[in-house]
A = this chain, B = another copy of it.
Amino acid sequence: MAMVGAKLKALRTRRGLGMRELAARSGISHSAISLIERERMSPSVDTLGAILGALGTTMSSFFADLESGLPSRPFYRAEELVEIGRPDRISYRLIGMDYPNRRMLMLAERYAPGATTEASVAHRAEEAGIVMRGAVEVTVGDRTAVLRAGDAYYFDSQQPHSFRNVDPGISEIVSAITPPTY
């Protein structure tokens, strides 16, 4: 999380505030601010949140700016895709893992026989995908359908939804979610 200190200092000085003044407004000690700005310690989420609050910022704005920039490259080899699931059940391989400030989550999914997704909290997003191999039972709200190669889906993530592999072998889906509230 490099650059946190430099960015914080830029924010503070731009407002013409001293460390002590910012400390008083945020409830964090001025020495802590000094150490954070010089990258000599990594603040807790609570601490950083308090400081950003006094500067009129939020965590998301702060890190959105920090992590912004163009991706390092446009192409990703199959072997490079980062695994964020578990291959023995449901493998989720992330496309464009080093794209800094993504607006979309694209995944190559691979379901082991019988694998089922966990119940998820409702979130405002749109989710679409297409089955590439096998057979997947998709439930959205009160509707259920078995999708096979070539079949697709598109729904609002706010509705309760789940996926279950009903093929005796492996099933594969390519999916996209936006915004990436994954």
* Residues in A lying within 8 Å of B, measured CB to CB: 1, 4, 6, 10-11, 13-17, 21, 42-49, 54-61, 63-68, 82, 84-86, 89-90, 92, 94, 97, 100-102, 117-118, 120-121, 123-124, 179-182
Classify the secondary structure of A's interface with B: loop
- On whether A100 and B58 interact (CB within 8 A), knowing A17-B86, A65-B181, A86-B15, the answer reads yes
| Contacting pair A45 B84 (CB below 8 A) | no
Query: Contact between A179 and B65 (Cβ–Cβ < 8 Å)?
Result: yes
Q: Which residue of B lies closest to A93 (CB)?
A: B56
For A60, A85, A94, A124, the residue with the greatest tally of chain B CB atoms inside 10 Å of its CB is A60
CB distance from A170 to the nearest CB of B (A): 15
CA distance A17 to B117 in the complex (A): 11
CB-based nearest B residue for A124:
B68
A54 near B90 (CB under 8 angstroms)? no
| Contact status A59-B63, CB under 8 Å | yes
Chain B residues in 8 Å Cβ range of A21: 86
- How many copies of this chain does one complex carry? 2
Check A1 against B60 for contact (C-beta < 8 Å).
no
Q: Contact at B66–A60, with CB atoms within 8 Å?
A: yes
Q: How far is the CB of A108 from chain B (nearest CB, A)?
A: 12
Other A-B pairs beyond A16-B90, A44-B44, A54-B84, 15, CB < 8 Å: A14-B117, A21-B86, A43-B44, A45-B48, A55-B84, A56-B84, A56-B92, A56-B97, A59-B59, A59-B63, A60-B64, A61-B101, A61-B182, A64-B179, A68-B124
